[in-house]
Amino acid sequence: MEFQAPVADILAAMQAAEEPERGGAEDIAPDTVAAIVTEAGRFATTELAPLNQIGDQRGAQFAEGVVTCPPGWREAYRRFAAAGWNAVAASPEWGGQGLPIAVEMAVQELWNAGSAAFATAPMLTAGAVLALEAHASPDLKAAYLSRLVDGTWAATMNLTEPQAGSDLGALRTRAVPAGDGTYRLTGQKVFISYGEHDLTDNIIHLVLARLPDAPSGTAGISMFLVPKILVGAGGMESRNQVVATGIESKLGLHGSPTCTMAYDEAAGFLVGEEHRGLACMFTMMNITRLTVGIQAVGVAERATQQAIAYARHRRQGRAVGWPGDGMSPIIAHPDVQAMLMRMKVLTAASRAVCHSCAYAIDAGRVANADRRRAWLDRAALLTPIAKAFASDSGVDVASLGIQVHGGAGYIEETGAAQHLRDVRVFSIYEGTNGIQAVDLVTRKLGLDSGRAVNRLIDDIAGYRGEARAANHPQLNLAADRLDAALDDLRSATDHMQQSMADDRRVKVLAGATSYLRLAALVLAGGLLARMAASAGGRVADGKPLAIACHFADMILGETVSLRRSVADGTTDFSAHATTLLSHSNPETP
Ligand SMILES: Cc1cc2nc3c(=O)[nH]c(=O)nc-3n(C[C@H](O)[C@H](O)[C@H](O)COP(=O)(O)OP(=O)(O)OC[C@H]3O[C@@H](n4cnc5c(N)ncnc54)[C@H](O)[C@@H]3O)c2cc1C
């Protein structure tokens, strides 16, 4: 089935996120944005979508340190770079277009719908460019940025080591000053996406490592730029001492090589200050976390389109009221309709939440000084929510996509299974969703002494008000449901903040994932209601209304049980954990 770029849906989600009257991001002409997203959609459908299945079937190959991407990928990457798609959000100083992150996310969704495994490469380069723009010395910027921006070179992020995954404080890669202002890095990194490949002539690794005198833990981490090929005044000079020693065989994203990297006194250049590397890397990680959410939206959109197309053609049984002869298409069965609609509304909800986060990032860059802090806090608050909610929803959607296909979904030929295999890692990498939830409840709920989250809740209440102002009977019902969900969110937030203040950390951490989902659902409900109510108080009948109402009817009700698990749990979590999980319990394996 041909993938259709959901241009109108993306533009609507971007618009629903805007808050210009509150000192938000500068507008760029809607026609310009529409033209960019339309063109990206054309590229994704014609160039990338046809590569998706072959990337899965053939995968990246490793032989003697060389990684070869699947057939057609080099050519597609060349056309991608030549069309300027690497340059969307990068600064014009380095050849970029300086467009908002919201536009970057719009096109990233389309690349990922086309082929998530392919899109992972430019996603990493785009994130590294932002980190280098923010933290690298003028010399490093001059030497590397323009070629990363024009796509001649690609970039990676090297954090993970065998003993240091979620806990980066445990990393051991060492960086020793060479005496000439450069450093020599030695150590092993694992699971490095596109650590080696044949799409570009050079690969620029951003690597976290420790100096000999570094304090332990995360306070002792520095960030280095380590090129695969060292670059001198005359261009690329000699091979650096960094090699891929293998690639992983994995569940999905087969076209994206996941490399083990060996650094053996590799020459590296400090980015930012010594021991302050984690903060520098977070410039890349924050944007990449949002992009991972958007990766999931892209795959979810494609899985949904494919499932709907299949359900229109597959005939089984006779649906109630089916007027035609013989068997009806399965799309006529209410249960299949319910699955497809859940896929549609979760995809729309995830897209809306991600764009709300993207808008906050943009506003944090351009807002006046008096509003800037609030927007930066909003972006910090929404980043874990967007990453985790969208990636969990992506798994839900892709799994339903298989279910709609029945047995054919479990068979690789249809491609439905690939979506689930590909999307599954988005809940894991860039910080697992568990780590996102911990970040949200332990660090982000306290932003601006708790006022940041309360401002978010007030804004969602404002969206609910916009929906009510439209005075449409169905949307009023959705607004009623949103009211109840807002009460759940307020109650759970108060409970979390009080538990933090009382230092009841087990309580906070045990409820973190439920709290994150609760917050995401309420935000999504508000944004979808806002999308359904036009600015003039008239309801845009049709799709936005159906999505807002169906989300409120079928999904928003989850907030009751989520609030209960966060705030009203009457039984003892730790005692249950001991009973069910302890080694001393003979019934526990
Ligand atoms: C396909 C793929 C591509 C990747 N690409 C890259 C890359 O390009 N660069 C890179 O640096 N890394 C990359 N990674 C690594 C990825 O970021 C890590 O796998 C991830 O951060 C989790 O670390 P871990 O695998 O060590 O799991 P662990 O840290 O061992 O976690 C296991 C489980 O324990 C939970 N857990 C751990 N600590 C805590 C805690 N404090 N509180 C609550 N729960 C906790 C986790 O949520 C998880 O459920 C990639 C991984 C994969 C699979």
The tokens describing 536, both together, are 């003039």
Q: 388 and 427 in contact (C-beta within 8 Å)? A: yes
The tokens describing 451, both together, are 């006022």
Q: Angle, to 10 degrees, between the axis of helix 277-313 and the axis of helix 334-366?
A: 150
pLDDT above 50 (res 416): yes
CB atoms within 10 A of CB 40: 25
Ligand 1 centroid distance, CA of 414 (Å): 30
How much of the chain exceeds pLDDT 90, in percent? 89
Q: Which CATH architecture has domain 279-317+327-429?
A: Up-down Bundle (1.20)
Q: Which of 19, 161, 196, 430 is catalytic?
A: 430
> Count of alpha carbons within 13 Å of 285, Cβ hemisphere only?
21
Which residue has a Cα nearest atom 4 of ligand 1?
A: 191
Q: Which one, of 532, 519, 514, 518, lies nearest residue 478 by Cα?
A: 532
Whether ligand 1 lies within 6 angstroms of the CB of 166 is answered as yes
Q: Which residue has the tokens 């229109």?
A: 312
Q: Which one, of 205, 131, 221, lies nearest residue 170 by Cα?
A: 221
What does the domain layout of the chain look like in residue ranges?
Answer: 7-62+69-135, 149-275, 279-317+327-429, 437-570
pLDDT at 535: 47
CATH topology for the 149-275 domain? Butyryl-CoA Dehydrogenase, subunit A; domain 2 (2.40.110)
Which residue has a Cα nearest atom 47 of ligand 1?
A: 434
Q: Model-level pTM?
A: 0.97
Give the pLDDT mean for 77-98. 96
Q: 124 and 205 in contact (C-beta within 8 Å)? A: no
Cα distances from 565 to residues 7, 185, 440, 491, 509, in angstroms, run 38, 46, 16, 12, 12
Give the pLDDT mean for 419-427. 98
pLDDT at 220: 94
Whether ligand 1 lies within 6 angstroms of the CB of 288 is answered as no
Give the pLDDT mean for 417-428. 98
What is the enclosing helix (H) or strand (E) of 67? strand 66-68
pLDDT at 582: 84
Testing ligand 1's pocket by substitution, the residue of 426, 428, 516 carrying the most ligand atoms inside 8 A of its CB is 428
Q: Angle, to 10 degrees, between the axis of helix 30-43 and the axis of helix 101-135?
A: 90
Cα distances from 65 to residues 68, 158, 260, 410, 443, in angstroms, run 10, 17, 10, 34, 41
From 91-95, 219-223, 301-305, 364-368, the region with the lowest mean pLDDT: 364-368
160 Cα nearest atom in ligand 1 = 11
Band (pLDDT 50/70/90 cuts) for residue 589 is low
pLDDT in tens, 193-224: 999 999 999 999 999 999 999 999 999 999 99
Decide: helix, strand or coil at residue 221. Answer: strand
pLDDT in tens, 573-583: 888 888 899 87
Pairing label, strands 242-247, 66-68:
unpaired
Give the pLDDT mean for 403-425. 97
pLDDT in tens, 182-196: 999 999 999 999 999
Ligand 1 centroid distance, CA of 438 (Å): 14
CB atoms within 10 A of CB 82: 11
Q: 329-332: long-range contacts (C-beta < 8 A, 24 or more apart)?
A: 330/404
The tokens describing 445, both together, are 């709920």
Q: Which CATH architecture has domain 7-62+69-135?
A: Orthogonal Bundle (1.10)
Q: Which one, of 127, 128, 229, 244, lies nearest residue 191 by Cα?
A: 244
Whether ligand 1 lies within 6 angstroms of the CB of 250 is answered as yes
pLDDT in tens, 522-543: 999 999 999 999 744 556 558 9
Ligand 1 centroid distance, CA of 166 (Å): 5
Give the pLDDT mean for 291-311. 98
Pairing label, strands 222-227, 202-209:
antiparallel
pLDDT at 8: 94
**How far is it, in rounded angstroms, from Cα 187 to Cα 175?**
9
When the pLDDT of each residue in the chain is averaged and rounded to a whole number, the result is 94
pLDDT at 570: 62
pLDDT above 50 (res 546): yes
pLDDT above 90 (res 21): no
Q: 154 and 192 in contact (C-beta within 8 Å)? A: no
**How far is it, in rounded angstroms, from Cα 348 to Cα 359?**
16
Residue 344's Cα: distance from chain center in Å? 18
**How far is it, in rounded angstroms, from Cα 52 to Cα 187?**
34
pLDDT at 235: 79
**Helical segments of 233-325, H only:** 277-313
What is the C-alpha end-to-end distance of the chain, expressed in Å? Answer: 46
**How far is it, in rounded angstroms, from Cα 33 to Cα 358?**
14
pLDDT above 90 (res 57): yes
What is the enclosing helix (H) or strand (E) of 222? strand 222-227
Ligand 1 centroid distance, CA of 161 (Å): 10
pLDDT at 550: 97
Which residue has a Cα nearest atom 12 of ligand 1?
A: 160
165 Cα nearest atom in ligand 1 = 26
pLDDT at 587: 63
Band (pLDDT 50/70/90 cuts) for residue 87 is very high
pLDDT at 271: 98
- Judge residue 585's burial from the number of C-beta atoms within 10 Å of its C-beta, 0-12 exposed, 13-18 middle, 19 or more buried: exposed
Give the pLDDT mean for 339-346. 98
The tokens describing 396, both together, are 């839900």
Active site residue 39: no
Residue 191's Cα: distance from chain center in Å? 18
Whether ligand 1 lies within 6 angstroms of the CB of 125 is answered as no
Decide: helix, strand or coil at residue 217. Answer: helix
pLDDT in tens, 388-409: 999 999 999 999 999 999 999 9
Cα distances from 485 to residues 79, 261, 461, 489, 493, in angstroms, run 47, 47, 10, 6, 12
Residue 90: partners with Cβ closer than 8 Å, 6 or more residues away:
96, 97, 98, 126, 129, 130, 133, 145, 148, 149
From 17-31, 182-196, 369-383, 454-468, the region with the lowest mean pLDDT: 17-31
435 Cα nearest atom in ligand 1 = 47
pLDDT above 80 (res 121): yes
